[in-house]
């Protein structure tokens, strides 16, 4: 008869390190910045005037600094799409200001 050897791991009473200063994420008011963009403009089909469009097929951006409506931009974004109503293809241009 063999007595089953119980392996007892010594329990060192480990205290959980008390996180007194819980830091979550970024400190407020740091790196994230909202930049003014001219993005929310609705683009219209030049053929039928509809603003319904298919999802953008392709997007390219060109680094180009300039000004538009008094706001400076650093990039020109081109998005290829087509009209959902009549199928007219078009390229939506937006100007973005980035750092």
Instruction: Count CA within 13 A, CB hemisphere, residue 69.
Output: 7
Long-range pairs of 30-33 with CB within 8 A, sequence gap ≥ 24: 33/99
Q: Which is nearer to Zn ion, 38 or 85 (CB)?
A: 85
When asked if residue 47 is in the footprint of Zn ion (CB under 5 A), the reply is yes
Q: Which is nearer to Zn ion, 50 or 60 (CB)?
A: 50
Question: Binding pattern to Zn ion, positions 57-86, x when CB under 5 A?
Answer: --------------------------x-xx
Across the beta sheet with 71-82, the strand order is 58-68, 71-82, 89-96
Binding site for Zn ion (CB under 5 A): 45, 47-48, 50, 83, 85-86, 88
């Amino acid at each position: 008869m063999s007595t089953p050897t119980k392996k007892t791991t010594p329990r060192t009473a480990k205290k959980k390190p008390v996180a007194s200063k819980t830091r979550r994420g970024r400190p407020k008011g740091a790196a994230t910045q909202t930049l003014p963009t001219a993005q929310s403009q609705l683009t219209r089909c030049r053929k039928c005037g509809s603003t319904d469009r298919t999802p953008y097929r392709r997007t390219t951006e060109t680094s180009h600094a300039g000004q538009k409506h008094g706001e400076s931009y650093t990039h020109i974004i081109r998005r290829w799409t087509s009209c959902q109503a009549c199928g007219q293809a078009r390229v939506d241009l937006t100007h973005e200001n980035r750092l």
